[in-house]
Amino acid sequence: MRYGKVKAEISRGRTPASPPGTRILVIGGGYVGMYTALRLQRKLRSGEAEVTVVTPDPYMTYQPFLPEAAAGNISPRHVVVPLRRLLPGCRIVIGEATAIRHAERTATLKTLGSEAEGSGTVDLTYDELVLAPGSVARTLPIPGLAEHAIGFKTVEEAIGLRNHVLEQMDIASSTRDPAVRDAALTFVFVGGGYAGVEALAELEDMARYAARYYHNIKADDMKWILVEATGRILPEVGEEMGRYAVRELRARNIDVRLETRLESCEDRVAVLSDGARFPARTLVWTAGVRPHPVLAAGDLPLDGRGRLRCTAALSVEGTEHAWAAGDAAAVPDLTADETGKECAPNAQHAVRQAKVLAGNIVASLRGEPLRDYRHAYAGSVASLGLHKGVAHVYGRKVKGYPAWLMHRVYHLSRVPTFNRKARVLAEWTLSGLFKREIVSLGSLEHPRAEFELAAGREPRQDK
């Protein structure tokens, strides 16, 4: 293509068409990564481009269902979507990007294969880059936090937390030490956003139900504590619904402490800024997220919060052939009344941004005009346990059972693939007909323990 024709296309708001076989690299297999690859798979012509998705896990996790998976309402395998099955037209690479050199169109990857080979990392070249690595937990230098806390961003953490809570009830039931019993039955959650509130509410519901099967544990013996540094919880559902959520939780004997911070959790003792001390064997940290470290290990422009500066068309600002959306991107909100406002980093925007992003990549390959992302925030729904919830949708405030039902219907409609929808609906139906499962499978985290024990005993017996 001659320079004059390229310049003319750019002046008309178009990008010049790319050569056939364009290499598109998608970093991340979450909401943005999966939906972008899925749409590219559907819209690209045969031979027009090849799509490679680099992801730490071979599945996409539908995070709004993590609290229900932790409570046992949904099987863990139905909270995740296998990427190889959903994206047969894409190349799936299990690994993580450790550095981006966009000026050279090269990404440095640490893959399962490179680790097995002992080579450390491999370099992968590309023509178009989609950065959607998501976010990681934002931790603070609190004494004891790294040693004792558990997060709530992955299905592994959700199931591990479920097993842990039930194991603590087993410990409390069998110990003769009052201090050990008290610490085992104390559960501290730090962070009053969606993850913290929904996880606490669902697990408290589950533990309250499970207590009826223990001869020496009552529901009131357990202490559930929610610690939030600001003056309210669930800010996404509005101030009024946030206050209702606090009243609802406190009515269930859950200790909600606002404008309070965790100062220390050394020796399994949670020390709060208001002076309270709670010996606790369970500390769940959900106090915010931060951009993925790979963004800082690259040469692309970042904002003050460490996110990629993006245009409304979801391209990286001032950079060609680089795109981003979701948690990793600072995308201007064109529907906001005030200037300079950005889209919230949530699933509602991420799913819609992915569709626009994929469409714009295809348009750029074909030299067609790009489309700006524009979506007015519809509102939020949150579960507070079985048959309880809050919602603020299109200006309407809903609470109690209707909000809980709205929460389930909305997320059932959003979870990818008909297969997952049908399985989740079937599990919800069965859970309404039969009793909860309260079995802890903590031994799954150490599958070789029994064999190692057997192997270790045999030599001693021979002696």
Q: How much is the pLDDT for 458?
A: 53
Q: How far apart are the first and last CA of the chain?
A: 81
Q: How far apart are CA 203 and CA 214, in angstroms?
A: 17
Residues forming beta bridges with residue 391, ordered by sequence position = 381, 398
Task: Dump pLDDT digits (tens) for 441-461.
Answer: 766 667 776 777 777 765 444
Task: Dump pLDDT digits (tens) for 68-89.
Answer: 999 988 998 999 999 999 999 9
Question: Mean pLDDT in the chain?
Answer: 89
At residue 338's C-alpha, the angle toward residues 332 and 340, to 5°, is 35
Q: How much is the pLDDT for 433?
A: 84
Q: How much is the pLDDT for 384?
A: 92
- The CA dihedral of 275, 276, 277, 280, to the nearest 10 degrees, is -140
Question: Residue 203, SS3?
Answer: helix
Question: Residue 249, SS3?
Answer: helix
Residue 242 burial by Cβ neighbours in a 10 Å radius (0-12, 13-18, 19+): buried
Bridging pattern class, strands 186-190 and 223-227? parallel
Task: Dump pLDDT digits (tens) for 84-112.
Answer: 999 999 999 999 999 999 999 999 999 98
Are the beta carbons of 416 and 60 closer than 8 angstroms? yes
Are the beta carbons of 25 and 128 closer than 8 angstroms? yes
Task: Dump pLDDT digits (tens) for 350-374.
Answer: 999 999 999 999 999 999 999 999 9
Task: Dump pLDDT digits (tens) for 110-140.
Answer: 998 888 887 788 999 999 999 999 888 888 9
Angle between helices 401-414 and 418-433 (to 10 degrees): 150
Q: What is the pTM of this model?
A: 0.86
Residues forming beta bridges with residue 24, ordered by sequence position = 51, 128
In Å, how far are 96, 130, 299 from 121, measured between CA atoms? 10, 20, 19
Question: Residue 86 half-sphere exposure, CB side, CA atoms within 13 Å?
Answer: 24
Task: Dump pLDDT digits (tens) for 422-431.
Answer: 999 999 998 8
pLDDT > 50? residue 329: yes
Are the beta carbons of 166 and 440 closer than 8 angstroms? yes
- Higher pLDDT, residue 17 or 96: 96
Which residues 6+ apart lie within 8 Å of 379 measured at CB? 237, 391, 392, 393, 394, 395, 396
- Of 80, 40, 88, the residue nearest 61 (C-alpha): 80
Radius of gyration of the chain (CA): 24
Q: How much is the pLDDT for 124?
A: 94
Task: Dump pLDDT digits (tens) for 207-217.
Answer: 999 999 999 99
- Of 66, 70, 124, 135, the residue nearest 97 (C-alpha): 124
Query: Mean pLDDT across the stretch 148-170?
Result: 93
Give the dihedral sign, CA 327/330/333/334.
Answer: negative
Query: Mean pLDDT across the stretch 202-211?
Result: 94
Q: How far apart are CA 231 and CA 243, in angstroms?
A: 10
Q: How much is the pLDDT for 4?
A: 38
Q: Which domains does the chain have, with CATH numbers?
A: 22-135+290-366 (3.50.50.60), 155-287+381-425 (3.50.50.100)
Residues forming beta bridges with residue 187, ordered by sequence position = 224, 282
